[in-house]
Each structure stands twice: as structure tokens, then as C-alpha cells.
Amino acid sequence: MLRSRAMRQTPILCFAAGTLGALAIVAGLTACGACGGAGAATLPPDDSTPHAAARPSGAILGRDAETRSASASGTVASITTEELAPGVPAARVEIAGEAPVAERTFRLALPPEIPIPFAVGDAIRLRIETLPGPPTYEPRNAVVTTEGGELLAVNGVAPPSGWQIRAAGEARRSDRGDYDEIHQFVTFTHAGKTAVTDGTSWRRLATSDGDWFVTGHATELEGEIPADGGGTFSFTIVRAR
């Protein structure tokens, strides 16, 4: 039977623990309000510029503690480098505090061409939400902020304050046999400026609120869809330092 299925979020991160902190969570985006359907794309003017990166995927975070959610607030005490996965270097970030180290440490992997948006000595607030239950406690969303606003947002329940993020129609499709995987454009609008991504690259968006690196990935499935199949929607926004 032919059928199509609405997009659902597929996370692109995993997290390391957190302690406390006030922070409005940017939690996991289901495709309901943020995504458009597949079809011919009518795209807005693109105000962004290409930003070459060896890996088009968004941020990946490493996680140690098995908790459903985590938050931390404090000064960045150290940033060191370790390998999150083979060939995927990551920054190990420790936030100062009295909680166990595992609860205030996380690992952030970005393409080397996308600078980490904070440094040692910066005061940051972090919030992560994960899917419940072992063995993976798969993370779903992450946001890092300062007093001045967001530095990093990944897969929010709603876009960060002042942002509109939407799937914007078909960019290309892949034949998967019984069904097609439809890859969509994703648009990011902030402070009157718009970036258009196609799921294969990063863009740099200059706005009155500063410069931002953005990437997004959205798919839908069309045809004989497997019982466990579904589309995806994910994004990463990083403030340029």
C-alpha cells in the first residue's frame, strides 16, 4: 500500500551530564509546526553565504551520565581535545562547580571549520534533554546560552527566540526501493535575514544580531514505508565568534 509519513525528529547528538541552571530549554523539534511538506520548493531569497566544512552534519555532543535531562551553569573551566568517535575529534568542556565532574562535563564535536562559540572563562548555561531509558539515553536537544542570548542550539522543540526554521520543499530524492527518501531544503530566518540549506552544507548568515553558522536536514518518506520508518528534521545554529 502506498503511503507517506510525516517527518519526525532524528537526533544528531549524544550528551555528557549536567548540574543545574536556569535556562529555557530549546527541546526536541517534532516536525509538526516547524516543517513544511515535501513538494516543489518555492524558496525565499538567500542572504547567507556558503561556509565550507568537511562534515555537513550538525553538532554532536558526548554524554557520560545516564540521566534523562541535564543542565549546568557556570564558568568554562577548561576545554581539551579528545576523540568522540573514530575520526571525530571533540572538545571536552568542563564547567566550574562543586558537583561531580561527570555532571558538569560535556563533549562538543563540530566540524573544524565551525569554531566553538565559547572559550575558557566564559559564563555559559547548558541544557540537554534525552530520550528516556538505557542503554543509550539518546540525546534529543541541546542549547548553550550566555546572558547575551544563544550561542548554540540543536534540535529545539521550537526554534530559539527570534528564529524561524522550516522545511521548505524538495531539494532532491533518493530511491530506496519500495519508497523514496525526499530531502528537503531548510530555511533559517533571523533578524530579517534568511539562510537556505539543502542538507549537504553549512551556511553563514550575517544579521544585525551578529553572524551565525547554520545547517539543517529534513526528509520525508514516500511509498511503501517500513513499519519503523519515518522522516527526519534536525538543525544546528552556532553563533560566530
Listed by start position, the domains of the chain span 3-239
Please check whether residue 218 is in contact with residue 7, taking contact to mean a CB–CB distance below 8 angstroms: yes
Comparison of pLDDT for 71 and 27, the residue scoring more? 71
Residue corresponding to grid cell 509538526: 32
pLDDT single digits (tens) 82-128: 887 788 888 999 999 888 887 788 888 888 899 999 999 999 998 87
- Omega within 30 of 0 (cis) for the link into 50: no
Question: What's the pLDDT tens digit per position in 137-163?
Answer: 455 678 899 988 899 998 866 688 899
Residue corresponding to grid cell 527518501: 181
Q: What is the band of 79 on the pLDDT scale with cuts at 50, 70, 90? A: very high
- When pLDDT is cut at 50, 70 and 90, the band that residue 207 belongs to is very high
C-alpha torsion 121→122→125→130, nearest 10: -70
25 confidence band (pLDDT: 50, 70, 90):
very low
Distance of alpha carbon 141 from alpha carbon 138, whole angstroms: 10
Query: For residue 24, is pLDDT > 60?
Result: no
Q: Report the percent of the chain where pLDDT is more than 90.
A: 43
Q: Cα–Cα distance between 83 and 102 in angstroms, integer?
A: 17
Q: Which of 65, 58, 72, 33 is nearest to 130 (CA)?
A: 65
The count of residues in the chain is 241
